[in-house]
Structure 1
Amino acid sequence: MTSIDYASSFMTFAAFQLIFGKLFTFYSIKKVFVASVAIFEVGSLICATAPTSIAFIIGRACAGLGSAGINAGGSAILAMSLFFHPPPKSKQSSFTYREMFNQMDIPGTAVLIPGVICLLLVLQWGGPVYPWRSTPIICLLVGLGVTATTFVTLQMRKKDMSTIPPRIIKQRSVACSTAYVFCAGGALNVFQYFLPIWFQAIQGIKAFDSGTRILPTTLGTVLFSFVAGFGVAKTGYYTPFMIVGAALQLIGASLSTTFHVSSPATQWVIYQLIFGAGAGLGIQQAHTAAQTVLAAADVPTGAVILIFAQIMGGTIWLSVAQNILTSQLLHGLKDSVPSLNSQMILDMGATELRGLVGAQNLDGVLVVYNHGITRVFCCAVALSAAALIAAAGMEWKSIKKTR
């Protein structure tokens, strides 16, 4: 799958998260959710039977649109099931169809979609494909600035009828939760994406084996999400779990910056468990916080705002981290092993590293690669620290008082 194929799905997935929040607020949750599943199935069918790459890209975009509704709807249904009774039908039926259509904020969505596309293209093309000062990148940045300014202006003017209602995003816990998932989710994506590359490049293992070696992160995340859920159910408070979670992510990411070429298994297993435990404790509780402080009718909108922030955080910081690694490798290889073609090493990837550089240059290349990836982990350190600050700003409210 090429980057264009992936981007076609992600663009619709990210851009339509917020509009689905409005759909789930003003229309039948069941009908919108079933329609989203149907759209996803149609997109998957198009991909499976696509005779050309263009048809495959269209199928991916359609599947991304459906998955946006599934993702947003799943969060809304879960929130209603755990924290609230579903809003009475009379409350939704008090709006006419024209009023509900006006609530969809079509102009805001129309501006948001090209803005997201510009952002993703800048992050994918800037540096590796086009120089940052090239005409395509400058045009995309200008387009991003114009769409972002227009979108913010529309949100401020439309107020409660906007895609991101200022009344909701200005709520202290929602604002801090949004910042938390943007940073903590971004740190998790960076860690999970680049750690397998470290295994492939430094330890010389295959891609499948590198995937199995990040199981400690996954295990820690899953297990401690249950621990956090049980703890919040008992105590009623989610804020301490977010604070401890961000702190553990910060510790795990900081320790990972000390990786070296001969790091033993005990080191990378323990560091992963610490980082994964932090992600499991904190990230889901940010969603719980928004569901707790918002009124029942605002929960779908609040849920998709957090989902959108988490998705965009992961995407933005993965691209930033990739640029950090690329820059470190290009400069480091040029200084340490000038006889090698640095760009060729980047193009070949981590799994082909040993066969490309030869035994006489391998040690120097591994040192440069290790340094580059540990600098990437510094990005996860900074994001985890920012998440800790966001967690410290959370309100201390009990979920038991909302039931």
Structure 2
Amino acid sequence: MPDVILSEARTPAPALAARAARTGSSPVRDILALTARPEVISFAGGLPAPELFDAAGMADAFRHVLAEAPRRVLQYSTTEGDPALRAAVAARYSARGLPTEADDLLVTTGSQQGLSLLATALLEPGDVVLVEDPCYLAALQIFSLAGARVVPVPTDDGGLDPAALDEIAARERPKLLYVIPTFQNPTGRTLSAERRAAVAEVAARRGLWIAEDDPYGELRFEGEPAPWVAAFPGAEDRTALLGSFSKVMAPGLRLGTVRAPAALRRACAIAKQAADLHTSTIDQAAAARYLAVTDLDGHLARVRDAYRARRDALIDGLPAALPEGSRWNRPAGGMFVWATLPPGYDAAALLPEVVKHDVAYVPGAPFFAGAPDPTAARLSFVTHAPEEIREGLGRLRKALEGTRREG
């Protein structure tokens, strides 16, 4: 029998899935990697102030659950989540005017996973998703990976335009609307109660789901909160409300919740079983213990006071830091200020020079699903203390001095 001759030729491995090839990396994450040097004062990342974390309270919670129930908290758990944690979240929703039972909730590995589960449960390739323009970057990534066609809805200083939403929904026949109605990322804008009611009415009349993302709602510095979109007539049976512990406790916990109608919640639970079985048992147990014994509202009051002072430091310093003719808003809470430079400036093109001065922001263009605004930039005010913010704005002023408008 002749010897088998093995060819040295190699067949290339199959290509990546189209969804992986078409979905780019997050520019925010990339900028964070570039500005990780400790000397950089960064307005780029939406990073909660680490010195405000209740590290002692969290450590006590972990010690307690490990001492009291080690076999339970180190074991596999149910997909739906820790019953005590879901009950605590349900009680907080109910106390704020949205009646909720523990069984209405699914615990997720951060609210980011909640959005991914919703995309898996709801979207077929080619389905239309409507988003605010500009929009949270990671949501655009999630919808791209799901194969959805993302259609932007225009916004103004008051947020999403309900009349434009109605017109676009009639034309595009979307399956889902994604919205951050309170202290939106990236703009910091908040929808009024009137606009929320209009959004709910359009969704009911046009027949679409709503994904209402609320990571920042408890970071209000002034004014009265508006009800969730989920609470308005027409939205009750079609809204998935995403909650997060990242901004109120600690982002490292990676804990969130989805409050959704039963059929959708069950579909998300099945998707979660396929994704990770369940969220960390010990982290859920520690969070439930923390909520049971800690005055979270008192802790949040201290966080809000600190963030208010940081917002004010940023707003007060922007007139001297940005070129004449720039505009910016004054959010009533949250983490972000949205600024636009005068016409002819390009925030992305200027960023390399800015980073040389050990300061950074995020250019606004990548946040747009439609035509980008090259003059826009997002500035986070929560990571640094007021004196560091003032120093950072001084560096930004020097970096922008002498820059010329493009073309």
Q: TM-score range by the shorter chain?
A: under 0.3
TM-score (norm 1): 0.26
| Greater strand proportion | 2
